[in-house]
Amino acid sequence: MNISDIIKPENKVYAKSRLLLDREMHYCPGCSHGTVHKIIAETIDELNIQEQVIGISPVGCAVLAYDYIDIDWQEAAHGRAPALATAIKRLYPEKYVFTYQGDGDLASIGTGEIVHACNRGDNITVIFVNNAIYGMTGGQMAPTTLEGMKTATTPRGRSHISSGFPMKITEMLALLPGVVYATRQSVDTPAAERKAKKSVIKAFKSQKLKKGTSFIEIVSTCNSGWKMTPVEANTWMRENMFPVFPPGDVKDETGL
Amino acid sequence: MAVKGVIEVDVELCKGCGVCIVNCPTGTIALSRQVNGKGYNYSYMEDPENCTGCTNCAVVCPDTVITVYRVKI
């Protein structure tokens, strides 16, 4: 059978989601952000809630997320996405509101906002992309940087003596009663990506049922910041980040 | 029942990261020797006979440049 006989609309089994705009992403080759954007777009499309979703984009590499997914967006100042999401959710309680944040944004400058949003149990979903580094600003140490990991500001490797330990945000937030769902996922393999998508679907459904804050950490790569190829970065992530940030549900009281 | 798949890569949007290649269970995909307009070696079906249309490559592609077709034969 010829290739041209197979490439027909009726045989199509996978294509770019209609919610992903036809635009080239500015992310580096192999960046996990693109895959996470895809998961979000596919989830919104599958739940058929395009008109009811408001995303809050962060400061960091994903600042331009609003250019790629065809939904309503609001840009937040550094780390303030959960505060903005709270306001939007309270003004439009029937909308689905989610924030999309990196580790420099959420775990560092925005720690106060995320802790209090989770403590209030606001019905928002937080997508936390953790790549253990400040990607956009040139690869400086983030709160989630691993011990011994070399970055622009820890050239000899992070030491807990001077810089503390990698911060386990998901475990910390899971302690708060306002958080109904706290999970850690990754998008390095097709299986992991499909599992991560199920988590996002669950988080949106739980938001609709007003169960509380849902928090999804995605352990990701920053191959430019880590100075590796995309494939090496995925392997390095599995070998080095998973022991510190193990994938899986930390808390699930959604009943879904 | 056997299946036959085909992938279609949006050559100009592919950044040649190679994530699809390691996630292809049948070793169908490789990076081309040619480069696209941005200078990236893009993914292509080196061995089209092997493709089963499993969609793994398209699912992990960060830029979602792969479309997958599948037929039963």
Best B3, B4, B6 member to test A by mutation, with max A CBs in 10 Å, is: B6
- Which positions in chain A touch B53 (Cβ < 8 Å)? 13
pLDDT of residue A114: 96
Inter-chain CB proximity B60 and A34 less than 8 Å: no
CB B34 within 8 A of CB B41: yes
Question: Are the beta carbons of A103 and A60 closer than 8 angstroms?
Answer: no
pLDDT of residue A2: 86
Asked if B68 lies within 8 A of A13 by C-beta distance, the reply is: yes
Q: How confident is the model at residue A94 (pLDDT cuts 50, 70, 90)?
A: very high
Q: Are B18 and B51 in contact (CB under 8 A)?
A: no
pLDDT of residue B34: 96
- What pLDDT does residue A3 have? 87
Compute the Cα dihedral for B12, B64, A236, A214 and give only its sign. Answer: positive
Helix pair A32-47, A190-208: axis angle to 10 deg: 50
pTM of the model: 0.96
What's the rounded Cα separation, in Å, for the pair A218 and A28? 18
Asked if A6 lies within 8 A of B6 by C-beta distance, the reply is yes
User: What mean pLDDT is predicted for residues A77-99?
Assistant: 96
pLDDT for B34-72, tens place per residue? Answer: 999 999 999 999 999 999 999 999 999 999 999 999 999
Domains of chain B: 3-67 (3.30.70.20)
**H or E segment at A62?**
none
Rounded to whole angstroms, the Cα distance separating A233 from B13 reads 21
Determine the residue of chain A that is closest to B19 in CA distance: A231
Which chain A residue has the Cα nearest residue B23?
Answer: A189
Helices A111-120 and A81-91, axial angle in degrees (round to 10):
30
pLDDT one-digit tens code per residue, A35-63: 999 999 999 999 999 999 999 999 999 99
Q: Does A23 touch chain B (CB under 8 A)?
A: no
Predicted local distance difference test score (pLDDT) of residue B73: 85
- Evaluate whether B1 touches B64 at the Cβ level (below 8 Å): no
User: Which residues share a beta bridge with A182?
Assistant: A215, A251
Q: Is pLDDT above 70 for B1?
A: no
Collect all residues from B whose CB is shorter than 8 A from any CB in A.
4-6, 8, 13, 15-19, 21-23, 40, 48, 53, 55-56, 58-71, 73
Share the mean pLDDT of chain B: 95
**Full set of structural domains in chain A with CATH:** 26-252 (3.40.50.970)
pLDDT band at A1 (very low <50, low <70, confident <90, very high): confident
DSSP A175-191: TSTTEEEEEEEE-SSHH
Position A71: which residue type? I
CB contact under 8 A, B19 and A234: yes
Q: Which helix (H) or strand (E) holds A170?
A: helix A169-174
Q: Which of A13, A30, A194 has its CB closest to that of B70?
A: A13
Q: Which helix (H) or strand (E) holds A200?
A: helix A190-208
Residue contact B60–A187, C-beta within 8 A: yes
Decide if A229 touches B, using CB distance below 8 A: yes
A135-185: pLDDT as tens digits:
999 999 999 999 999 999 999 999 999 999 999 999 999 999 999 999 999
DSSP symbols for A107-169: IIITHHHHHHHHHHT-S-EEEEEE-SSBTTTTSB--TTPPTT---SS-TT---HHHH-PPP-H
Distance (Å, rounded) from C-alpha B31 to C-alpha B11? 11
Q: Under an 8 A CB cutoff, do B69 and A8 touch? A: yes
Does residue A31 sit at the B interface (CB-CB below 8 Å)? Answer: yes
**A contacts of B40 (beta carbons < 8 Å):** 29
Partners of residue A12 in chain B, C-beta under 8 Å:
67-69
Min Cα separation B45/chain A (Å): 11
The pLDDT, as a whole number, for residue A39 is 96
| Summary mean pLDDT of chain A | 95
Contacts with B67 from chain A: Cβ below 8 Å: 12, 14-16
Q: Under an 8 A CB cutoff, do B64 and A27 touch?
A: no
pLDDT tens column, A190-222: 999 999 999 999 999 999 999 999 999 999 999
Tell me the chain A residues in contact with residue B55 when contact means C-beta distances shorter than 8 Å: 13-14, 190
Q: Sign of the C-alpha dihedral, residues A151, A34, B22, A199? A: positive
